């Protein structure tokens, strides 16, 4: 469940595609962009980063609309997020870097590797949502839409009672509306049509209990030469359930 806290996660800024983005940078080694899920921030990687910064130049980016990064004025798709990451690399003066993404952050990383392979040295996809456009629509209607409908009903009650007028509450509403738009865009992505385009060395990792595990073998088969790892004792999100195991995989594969 996505929760709004309004915090800024990052002490540096860069401009990509006209958007001001916040990020953190630490460590030494291969430059590696860490990408988080929609509704989260770069803080999603907080348990992993201290375990890899001895071997990687960690660049933890807050995607547009999250962690203090500027919110776009329109709905964003996976392709849009990938384009922002591409522009972010340009802004940092990096011709290429490793990409490590989790959940929807891994979708953006995947798409950039498929469309601009020269910019991606190695690709690490953790708990990748591997749906096609039809499956993604089902996910939105069955999983995300009921959550938004419940929120809409709550907002209507707040409006009727006059509770929803405060500045903090309005900021929360803008945040959740942005999450909704992102989820609409992400679930319309057709990953199947791009797997054959990825030639970058790729690590695919899923927590053993992840609800996204149903299609890991399809992705593995579609990306020639990719490596598939299942992380034990990770019932929900691998990066928070088993940060040490995720860190070990990343250092072995990316450093």
pLDDT in tens, 169-182: 888 889 999 999 99
pLDDT of residue 171: 86
Taking the whole predicted model, whether its pTM rises above 0.85 is answered as: yes
Q: Does some domain include residue 94?
A: yes
Does residue 31 share a domain with residue 19? yes
Question: What are the residues whose beta carbons fall under 8 Å from the beta carbon of 215, sequence distance 6 or more?
Answer: 130, 131
Residue 66 gets which letter from DSSP? S
Same domain, residue pair 27 and 109: yes
Looking up residue 70, the CATH number of its domain turns out to be: 3.40.50.1820
Query: Going by DSSP bridges, is the β-strand pair 19-26/56-61 parallel, antiparallel, or unpaired?
Result: antiparallel
Q: Are 194 and 179 contained in the same domain?
A: no
Considering the domain architecture, whether residues 27 and 48 belong to the same structural domain is answered as yes
Q: Residues 62, 159: one domain?
A: no
Asked if 214 and 145 sit in the same domain, the reply is no
Tell me, yes or no, whether 34 and 22 share the same domain. Answer: yes
Segments of the chain with pLDDT less than 50: 1
The total number of structural domains in the chain stands at 2
Mark whether 35 and 115 lie in a shared domain: yes
pLDDT in tens, 19-52: 999 999 999 999 999 999 999 999 999 999 999 9
**52 lies in a domain?**
yes
Give domain status of residue 3, yes or no: no
Q: Is residue 158 part of a domain?
A: yes
115 shares its domain with 224: yes
Residues 6+ apart with CB under 8 A from 193: 132
Supply the pLDDT for residue 67.
Answer: 93
Secondary structure (3-state) at 10: coil
User: Closest by alpha carbon to 42, among 94, 86, 105?
Assistant: 105
| Distances in whole angstroms, Cα of residue 88 to Cα of each of 30, 91, 201, 221 | 16, 5, 21, 30
Rounded Cα distance, 245 and 39, in Å: 24
The reported pLDDT for the residue numbered 205 is 98
**For residue 6, is it within any domain?**
no
Last residue of a domain, one of 153, 183, 213: 183
In a domain, 1, yes or no: no
In this prediction, residue 4 carries a pLDDT of 63
Say how many C-beta atoms besides its own lie within 10 A of residue 94's C-beta: 15
Read off the DSSP letter of residue 20.
E
The answer to the question of residue 7 being in a domain is no
CB atoms within 10 A of CB 138: 11
Q: What is the pLDDT of residue 5?
A: 62
Question: Within this chain, do residues 138 and 124 fall inside the same structural domain, yes or no?
Answer: no
Residue 2 maps to a domain: no
User: Domain range for residue 152?
Assistant: 134-183
Q: Are residues 152 and 30 in the same domain?
A: no
Q: Are residues 202 and 231 in the same domain?
A: yes
């Amino acid at each position: 469940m996505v929760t709004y806290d309004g915090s800024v996660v990052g002490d540096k800024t860069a401009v990509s595609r006209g958007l001001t983005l916040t990020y953190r940078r630490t460590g030494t080694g291969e430059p590696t962009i860490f990408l988080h899920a929609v509704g989260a921030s770069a803080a999603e990687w907080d348990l992993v980063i201290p375990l890899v910064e001895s071997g990687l130049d960690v660049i933890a980016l807050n995607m547009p609309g999250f962690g203090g990064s500027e919110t776009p004025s329109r709905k964003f798709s996976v392709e849009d997020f990938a384009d922002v990451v591409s522009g972010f690399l340009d802004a940092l003066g990096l011709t290429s870097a490793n990409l490590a993404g989790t959940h929807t952050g891994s979708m953006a990383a995947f798409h950039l590797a498929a469309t601009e392979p020269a910019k991606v040295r190695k690709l690490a996809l953790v708990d990748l949502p591997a749906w096609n456009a039809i499956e993604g629509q089902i996910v939105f209607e069955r999983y995300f839409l009921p959550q938004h409908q419940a929120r809409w009903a709550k907002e209507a009650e707040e409006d009727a009672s006059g509770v929803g007028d405060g500045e903090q509450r309005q900021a929360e509403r803008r945040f959740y509306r942005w999450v909704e738009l992102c989820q609409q865009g992400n679930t319309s992505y057709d990953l199947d049509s791009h797997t054959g385009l990825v030639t970058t060395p790729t690590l695919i990792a899923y927590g053993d209990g992840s609800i996204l595990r149903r299609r890991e073998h399809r992705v593995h088969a579609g990306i020639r030469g990719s490596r598939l790892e299942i992380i034990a004792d990770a019932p929900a999100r691998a990066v928070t359930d088993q940060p040490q195991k995720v860190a070990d995989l990343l250092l072995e594969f990316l450093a």
